[in-house]
Structure 1
């Protein structure tokens, strides 16, 4: 249970590809992120990634009308039926082909899938358990090319399908007599979107060249008539009706027979009723900028008649239909808009840009952003936790430094001062300063109070920095150079270069300061690790000789051990005081590297060149995490030198180096199928404008990123760890699931006996039994049952072994509970009673104390802001009332009316301040 870390959240990637959806209440956006799905709660300012994954990148997501079910389809055609309530997979299904779009009917009974040049209608999964959740109802043929989009009528009687062959097809969901299918032309490019008008069969169709056609239907939805059955179905229905008529009586029987016979013998009336016909009312053109700016996405809100269109240039238009009035137009990105969605109220519009990985939510009435998030354009390279575990800072190859809130999952500040790739990031011990190194030849310090770059450290000669480290006091900054093989040391206070440490004969690959002393360890490709004493004239204290090139180095949290990862896939452990090797771990077989699509050798042989490139000790120092050129992260026990657990970061086959064995189907007589670029026919999602051409330009490149882990860090609280990989910033946590984790449990401990002890007011015994059973809700019930005036006595009577358990529970409760003062009293009494006795175990208790500090610091920040806000508002209200009191003394008027007015004004001021405060808390910046 101690190592039951599970996937908790995915940060740093907000949108990859696929379609965006709003939830039923319109407060959350569901965004496909690679082969996972993230839900962005816009009201509560949180992002949450569902604990499920598909085999390939997600192509489309269909949401049921009640918002409880979702159908997620990946690029390979495999579908997952997901419950959004319990966040679990209910059913797996394979559509045996690439699916372009999925749409539920408004009544929730059926859904349509467009695949190839056909549309298939399935019965939607019901509320009862079924052997097969997806049952095919009908297959609709008609288009000659790939189908692209779907939309339903409000009464679920018909649906419309757009195709790349420039045609739009209206199909009946039932066997209507006057509408089987209807094909609409009028476009000169592929159909991007088509929408029905509300409570009508009138529709709009939009093509890639920016043309909008308005189609009017001569038949209302009520005019659709069911086709009478023929053959054995008609006989069966006739028999059932006759049996019902016999039961009802002879009088009714005659009348009913007459009507059924009339229904049979009068087909002329049905023929007179004519077929459904469409006519084009108008044709508008959205694209004013020519062929290079193609329409790429569109969404329509039926209640407010709003049409949103996104283009390849990053511009979007907002029109009111059917008059085609332009409300406003805005450029939100310099990349193509890949997906558009409107929420149920029509206030918020979500845009996804796959080129830059952007997700934007725009409120069109106030013309302001509700959400504006973007991940790193290129891969993340490094990360660091803040000392209290509340923030994570990441650096990427795009030169950006981003700071993420671990609680909400959002990036709240981005620093763009670096002009080249960031190679290392770290926090100072105070947690208010971030220090970063970059290939642009600078080391920069950023202030988290004012969000500015307040120090820039440079070397006398231009050099590329590969790593950075800050000592425990925060006064000394050091960075290693790739090309000059030197270590530069600066002063944080003055920004001056203090010394240049020479001695390495290869590029510096890693730096780490001893947490307890001012000793710097530097790892290099020259097969050595050098220890430098910062106070002893900057001399080399020791040189540790390795068997291979050093790739990473890290100290244990207590500074008594040093771990080094080398190029031969080994992790060696050293005593830094005596320069003696204490052990080693052979990790080549644990890495299990995959085979790339274009590799000429097997995965077994390619693994010989792979190694661990990043190391991180756990919070208690007993275990070490290691990752590198693989999809696996290995957790080792340091003393036993064994593999405890291996975590698989991704199962996404859209990434390279994922499979251990290549598929024989991908090998042709002309070579590997991966060499033939299937996507070369499209340039930025826009087809090559040559008639009949399928392959396109053979010189265009197709990029398939390789899976790798670039950095690993344990949270200071020890409850979770984070990894930067090709997928993004993955967080694995112990708090993501329900676990039964008993502690010294025996048969005498039961919930009944615990509650019996509470009734007898034996609080200490009840607490001990509750924490032996280790049920969270039961422990909360017991702790909250202790009267406030008895907390002091009960906390003093707890054994020392249980104090750590109670402190850990209190730290977790600060994250979610509203009983802040009650738990603060518990914490204070425990620390005051047992503080002296816990001092010898300070190293082991450090993760718990940091976990406690994280929760308290968050509450301190929130409450202090609230108090300051209220204090300033009250001061302002008092100042205004005093000013009006002075005016009142100068101008004698009716006193009662004035006092009432001034009181009302000050009351309005306070109410307005409270409303503004609520709005600020609800808004996402």
Structure 2
């Protein structure tokens, strides 16, 4: 089994902070999620997280006009130049200060960064390789307070910068003679956004108190004049002109130029109008705005969750709706002006709204609090997560979207699991209930309760899906229910501490329960739920899990050990010491280093790999450890997070933050942001102390391997992280020698030696050659070629077929390959069932997904044909009932009915994109 797992996707979190951006085609949305960036493909309904991360949470993202490059800046001023084509980092840069906004010029030659109380103009990085991709051109000063926003003109000649000092400044990107800078006032609060009108120097400025000022410029963009050079530049130009045109012409031109410049004055602005959003008198802070110049559409978001759509410059209200009760942190409009994106950082919510049809294109929201548990469906297509907010969400692993949310729990969810069929999700909660949810009808069809109120800390379902068990945290008991009847079958007593974990044996009717009383008990389901064995541990048990074949049991204890047991003989077979591998971080308020901190150094979640040879462990740390069970050694360590905006990330003590008055971390420097109240001096009682911010602590709460073994998932403070085997970036030859070349493979295909060509293609292990070799085999010879393949290559062919079924259009061809391989080599594969289980489950997942899609299409066609048949029968009955003299009227009515029915079927006149029966 390979262990080159790499970060693949981030689910469960769709927006944290920062600004939203649409791509240049308007079909994808770029959203900053913590210290990562997720791209939502709205046309294909997919989400993909870029394999890069910043040191702190992302503050702003600037997108180039062609959509190839992006500048990502975090809260610490660290910038990444990212290629969105190859999804890689091209350059690192540090702006030496907090950056508020980044904006490329429309021509893509420059970009502006607002930092502190000034703006910096940089040359945009080109497509050629450069030693320094960021070259500073000019630095502009004018505002007295921090800058907040920036916007460019269409011709890239000027840009406007907003500030917290209630002013906006118009700067020239070139050395214009009649425009160096221009200050615009008239507001009574900080500027939130400012925009230029299309093909004009007219400016719209919006302040936080909900005021809009319209500024009119007396000069068109064509009226800007370049400033005459002076100093050594003028002398150099003078020499060039003397050489080309002569001394007399240059002298005349030099005298005439100032006279023409004196006739035209400087650029001037005048306030044309001032509008207010809060006309009713209720004070509501404006927090975000976006403007589409071609459609003259202004979108504004407020702290109460309300957003307005106005048409400028007349300020006509188009829509006024509410997203939620939390502040709208970011607003973006796509290039066509049809879709509007809203980001709410308080809820972690992301919405894309089509304002003309008043419908949602995308509506996603993660867990409000941290995720606690996760479970893979048996086919690996879905992941169910439970959070402290009492919600159970089901995510699609292919698209990365949540398609159903269950909110029946009234308290935090502590555990989720799937039944063997994959259509039922069972969850336990601290509210004293265990609920079963149906994924066919999306409803809560069973609610299991205890005779006495209890807080359930874990849940487990047996392999048949008929029995549900849950452990109580306060009464130290285990409750057993029947899924069919919903009745309580038994209450298992015997533990003397809270139940921390439950797990059913996949092969036998045995339930293992772990508790804080330093024991693991094995309960026999077939023999009146009696305790068959009690495994004594050296410390409190925190997690328990069975191997996929049920022949081994792993237990994580509070002393950072993982012990392995033989459940049949109740004998310990091995142990792993993980104290030094976990490496918990030091919190900001700790006065000692992470090495000497004793709290949290223990694994709290365990998971076996699909083949049972390795175990994955995690806890209150940013590291996830993968151990080899038999050798009891560390195979690989994964660092799931490098975000310093979270707590418990640092390892050593920073003496610079320790003063004689205490730790500097006690001073909340971010209290004034996002609606908080700044408390400048000790003893000042003005302000809400509860509005102070806190840094969430990094931890891994749950780990699960997918049934296919190709990926594993972890719920952490960052969200739901997916790590997978990315074969596209990995060169993995198999028994390769110098005689295997692409030319020889194609020569074997021309000679119709298909078996030799397939074997050489798998030895070279290039996907395109593998696809070419397999698809060159005629479908009538597949059985012969399958029987001639060695047993060593059958597993590799099955794995390739499983991955190809997800993306290929040749569904029947690959299904024939799969059938022939399993029919010919079925008896030999049974002896290696344990190692082949992940491959077979991967194959089943791919086939099941196609089956679901085709089943929906067949049902759609079936209902359409029934509808067409009913319409034709109704038409025949109508003809039979009418008198013979009204045949022409009947034909006219029939033609109308036919056109209506065809329109309902999606195949009316002129309709070429609708579904066909």
Cα deviation 1:322-363 (Å, max 9, x = unaligned): 110000100111100000000000000000000010000011
| 8 A Cα contact 2:907 2:914, kept in partner | no
- RMSD of aligned residue pairs (Cα, Å): 2.1
- The answer as to 2:756 corresponding to 1:765 is yes
Q: SS at 2:865's partner residue?
A: helix
Q: Distance in 1 between matches of 2:719 and 2:511?
A: 30
Which residue does 2:803 correspond to in 1?
Answer: 812
| Corresponding position: 1:347 with 2:338 | yes
Checking the alignment, whether the CA contact within 8 Å between 1:873 and 1:913 is kept in structure 2 is: no
1:784-825 deviations in whole A, cap 9, x for unaligned? Answer: 000111001111111112111100000000111111010001
Given the superposition, is the C-alpha separation of residues 117 and 861 from structure 1 closer, same or farther in structure 2, using an over 3 Å criterion? same
**Runs of 5+ unmatched residues, structure 1:** 246-252
DSSP 3-state at the match of 2:906: helix
| CA deviation vs aligned residue, 1:572-617 (integer Å, no higher than 9, x gap) | 0000000000000000000011111101222111146410000000
Give, in whole Å, the separation in 2 of the partners of 1:374 and 1:895: 54
Q: Partners in 1 of 2:716 and 2:257 — Cα distance?
A: 71
Per the alignment, in what secondary structure is the counterpart of residue 495 of structure 1?
coil
Alignment of 1:235 with 2:226, yes or no, is no
Cα deviation code 1:737-784 (max 9, x no counterpart): 421112222332222222121111111111111112221111111000
Q: In the alignment, which residue of structure 1 is the partner of 2:562? A: 571
Q: Is the 8 A contact 1:877 1:909 kept in 2?
A: no
Aligned equivalents of 1:499 and 1:319: distance in 2?
63
1:638 pairs with 625, 629, 632, which one? Answer: 629
Partner of 1:128: 128
Take 2:101 and 2:612, find their aligned partners in 1: how far apart are those partners? 50
> 2:94, 2:151 → 1: CA distance?
23
Counterpart residue number, 1:12? 12
Residue 514 of structure 2 corresponds to which residue in structure 1? Answer: 523
Q: Secondary structure at the match of 1:816?
A: coil
Size of the aligned set, in residue pairs, is 910
Shift of 1:916: 10
Residues 1:900 and 1:481: Cα distance change in structure 2 (over 3 Å): closer
Distance verdict in 2 for CA 1:162–1:696, change over 3 Å: farther
Measure, in 2, the Cα distance between the counterparts of 1:466 and 1:612. 17
Q: Name the residue aligned to 2:275.
A: 284
In the alignment, structure 1 residue 893 sits paired with structure 2 residue 888: yes
CA distance in 1: counterparts of 2:562 and 2:679, whole angstroms: 51
Distance in 2 (CA, whole Å) between partners of 1:228 and 1:154 is 24
User: Is residue 424 from structure 1 mapped to residue 415 from structure 2 by the alignment?
Assistant: yes
Corresponding residue number in structure 2 for 1:845 = 836
- Please list the CA deviations of residues 101-139 of structure 1 after superposition, one character each: whole Å capped at 9, or x if unmatched: 000000000000000000000000011111100000000
User: How much has 1:734 moved relative to structure 2?
Assistant: 0.3
Contact 1:163 1:190 in 2 (8 A): yes
What is the CA deviation profile of residues 480-505 of structure 1, one whole-angstrom value per residue up to 9, with x for unaligned ones? Answer: 00011000001111111100000000
CA distance in 1, matches of 2:302, 2:364: 20
SS where residue 671 of structure 2 aligns?
A: helix
1:849 aligned counterpart, secondary structure: helix
Task: Tell me if structure 2 keeps the 8 A contact 1:796–1:833.
Answer: yes
Matched, 1:77 2:77: yes
Higher relative contact order (CA 8 A, sep 6+): 1
Give the counterpart of 2:618 among 615, 624, 627: 627
Q: What is the SS of the residue equivalent to 1:882?
A: helix
Following the alignment from structure 1 to structure 2, what is the Cα–Cα distance between the partners of residues 909 and 282? 50
What is the CA distance between 1:898 and its match in structure 2? 7.7
Q: Match for residue 327 of structure 2? A: 336
Distance 1:510 1:657, change over 3 A: same
Aligned to 1:153: 153
What does residue 47 of structure 1 align with? Answer: 47
Cα 1:917–1:723, aligned 2, differ >3 Å: closer, same or farther?
A: farther
Q: How does 1:604-753 map to 2 (within 5 A)?
A: 604-607=595-598, 609-682=600-673, 684=675, 700-735=691-726, 737-753=728-744
Distance 1:535 1:916 in 2: 62
Q: How does 1:258-407 map to 2 (within 5 A)?
A: 258=249, 261-288=252-279, 290=281, 292-407=283-398
* Per-residue deviation, 1:905: 5.4
Match status 1:777 vs 2:772: no
Shift, 1:867, TM fit: 1.2
CA distance in 2, matches of 1:739, 1:908: 50
Is the 8 Å Cα contact of residues 678 and 695 (structure 1) preserved in structure 2?
Answer: no
Separation in 2 of the partners of 1:71 and 1:94? Answer: 12
Residues 1:452 and 1:908: Cα distance change in structure 2 (over 3 Å): closer
Give 1:900 shift. 6.8
User: 1:248: which partner in 2?
Assistant: none
Alpha-carbon separation, structure 2, partners of 1:725 and 1:344: 35
Matches within 5 A, 1:183-198: 183-198=183-198
1:597 partnered with 2:583: no
| TM-score, scaled to structure 1 | 0.96
Distance in 2 separating the partners of 1:688 and 1:326? 38
Give the 3 Å change call, closer, same or farther, for CA 687–546 of structure 1 in structure 2. Answer: closer
Change (3 A) 1:912 1:607: farther
Tell me, yes or no, if the aligned pair for 2:676 and 2:691 is still in contact at 8 Å. Answer: no
Q: Does 1:164 align with 2:164?
A: yes
- Retained in 1: the 8 A contact 2:70–2:81? yes
Change (3 A) 1:106 1:756: same
